Amino acid sequence: MDFDTITAISTPLGEGAIAIVRLSGDDAIAIADKMFRGKSLATVETHTIHYGKIVAPDTDEMIEEVMVSVMRAPKTFTREDVVEINCHGGLASVNRLLEMALGYGARLAEPGEFTKRAFLNGRIDLSQAEAVMDLIRAKTDKAMHVAVRQLDGKLSQLITKLRQQLIETVAHVEVNIDYPEYDDVEEMTQQLLRTRIKEVSEEIDKLLAMARQGKILREGIKTAIIGRPNVGKSSLLNALVQENKAIVTDIPGTTRDVIEEYVNVRGVPLRLIDTAGIRETEDIVERIGVERSRQALKEADLILLVLNNNEPLTDEDRQLFEVVKDLETIVLINKTDLSGLLDHEEVSTLAGHHHIVTGSLIEDAGVDQLEEAIAETFFKGSIEADDLSYVSNVRHIQLLKQAQTALSEASQAIDDGMPLDLIQIDVTRSWELLGEIIGDTMQDSLIDQLFSQFCLGK
Ligand code: GDP
Ligand code: ZN
């Protein structure tokens, strides 16, 4: 394909010891060569890196010492000639390099345009492109791992296999429609349809089951810490934040004033919601009352309910148990260093199937067990299995659900004794919907919209 040469700063602005200005396109090497004093980049081997200087166009004044990577098409990320100029950062000098590249004829890349080119040049499919985006946003090692696997094309392979099964089925039906005189063939076709639809449908079910865990990995487990005043909510928050240093703060879309805090508990990304409220010893329940907090808490993936070992249960505690009855909850009985006035038996009854952990936050006891319980709750076996790629992209999930619906409509149609060509329409629709996941039946405008979500320079 024929594209102009694009450029962007492809490392986060401002911080970081090294910054990279990336160029991609037919003129990438020529443009870099004009900026560079060192070896002639036009003649160097592909996939080599070269030390040299960047000099100002008119004065030949040295601007930066750099390392320049030259990668010729087609074995590059975009399948075009790619040059990456590594410099020592500093916003001013990186911007200067970018301006020079633009001055020599490159165009500023749109957000996601490098990845879009990789897609348009056939190097990656759409789910892989989205995985790149997720990589950029990955919040924990596990989420990173999932994104990397998706980038590997695992999801694409699976989807392709399912589509293959569906299209073969459709082909079978086609034959049958063409030769309707054989009655027993029709019987067989119906039987085959039923089996195939069930098989594909079960695979989609599995993928959707993964989706919940995928979502958790990606977005963090929305966690609410609740409890009466003074039981130790703030202490718990602080303990979680202090013990888990890998706090992720550079999440695109979150700003400093968003009252959320991310902590990484044994690979489980917790997103502590309404932490500002807790900091002011005024949590959701205290502030808006039990009835409304019930609504608010429904959105949480995990609730940490804190009790005070040093006080008898109150009606407010009992109400809180009522609120969290059907929600994923871990109970922490805090202040075990103080004399026990709490009726642990009643707590046990009220807690039902919820985990109960005891501890003393002031003595740093019980936090390990609490973290253990959290990890256990969210990584029950399957998530750590290495052999599956997870679906955790909202667009993919929607398409999978729609494909699933089309298949159940097909099943229903078979049961209702509908003609084969009608059933075939549903199966074909399911095939198309799955195709949209890997970008096979995607309209251009949607592609543009998807890629515009990327960070600049990727
Ligand atoms: P919150 O109102 O639920 O957020 O409770 P805080 O975390 O602010 O704690 C209230 C008070 O209890 C503070 O004075 C804490 O130092 C104290 N506290 C917290 N955890 C413990 C504990 O395990 N043992 C004792 N003795 N005091 C604690
Ligand atoms: Zn507090």
Q: What is the pLDDT of residues 370-427, one digit of tens each?
A: 998 988 887 654 444 333 445 656 677 888 999 999 999 999 998 898 888 888 889 9
User: Mean pLDDT for the chain?
Assistant: 78
User: What domains can be seen in the chain, in order of their start residue?
Assistant: 6-124 (3.30.1360.120), 137-215+393-439 (1.20.120.430), 220-384 (3.40.50.300)
Q: Is 309 in the pocket of ligand 1 (CB under 6 A)?
A: no
pLDDT at 383: 41
Q: Place 15 in a pLDDT band, splitting at 50, 70 and 90.
A: very low
Tokens of 107: 């165009």
Q: Please state, as a whole number, how many other Cβ atoms lie within 10 Å of the Cβ of residue 375.
A: 14
pLDDT at 308: 96
Q: Atom of ligand 1 at shortest distance to CA of 230?
A: 2
Q: Please state, as a whole number, how many other Cβ atoms lie within 10 Å of the Cβ of residue 62.
A: 11
Q: How far apart are CA 46 and CA 302, in angstroms?
A: 51
Are the C-beta atoms of 400 and 211 separated by less than 8 Å? yes
CA of 244 to the centre of ligand 1 (A): 20
Q: How far apart are CA 94 and CA 87, in angstroms?
A: 7
Question: In a mutational test of the pocket of ligand 1, which residue from 242, 307, 338, 361 has the highest number of ligand atoms less than 8 Å from its CB?
Answer: 361
SS3 143: helix
The average pLDDT across 328-357 equals 95
Q: How far apart are CA 94 and CA 101, in angstroms?
A: 11
Annotated binding site: 22, 84, 123, 230-235, 249-255, 274-277, 458
Q: Where are the alpha helices (DSSP H) in 126-182?
A: 126-137, 141-151, 154-178
Q: How far apart are CA 351 and CA 357, in angstroms?
A: 11
Q: What is the pLDDT of residues 261-318, one digit of tens each?
A: 677 787 777 888 654 444 444 455 555 555 656 666 777 889 999 999 999 999 889 9
Q: What percent of the chain has pLDDT over 90?
A: 28
If you ran DSSP here, which 8-state letter would residue 455 be given? P
pLDDT at 126: 74
Burial of 96 (0-12, 13-18, 19+ CB in 10 A): middle
Q: Where are the alpha helices (DSSP H) in 179-298?
A: 183-219, 233-243, 275-279, 284-298
Are the C-beta atoms of 166 and 196 separated by less than 8 Å? yes
The full length of the chain comes to 458
Amino acid identity at 54: I
Q: Are strands 62-71 and 82-87 parallel, antiparallel or unpaired?
A: antiparallel
pLDDT at 435: 86
Amino acid identity at 455: C
Q: Please state, as a whole number, how many other Cβ atoms lie within 10 Å of the Cβ of residue 458.
A: 22
Q: Is 280 in the pocket of ligand 1 (CB under 6 A)?
A: no
Higher pLDDT among residues 406 and 154, named by residue:
406
Q: What is the pLDDT of residues 212-228, one digit of tens each?
A: 666 666 667 888 888 88
Q: Which residues surround ligand 2, an ion (CB under 5 A)?
A: 233-234, 281
Q: Is 334 in the pocket of ligand 1 (CB under 6 A)?
A: yes
Q: Place 115 in a pLDDT band, splitting at 50, 70 and 90.
A: confident
With tokens 């060509």, the residue in question is 421
pLDDT at 392: 56
Q: What percent of the chain has pLDDT over 70?
A: 70
Nearest alpha carbon, ligand 1 atom 19? 232
SS3 267: coil
Q: Is 233 in the pocket of ligand 1 (CB under 6 A)?
A: yes
Task: Tell me the Cα Rg of the chain.
Answer: 28
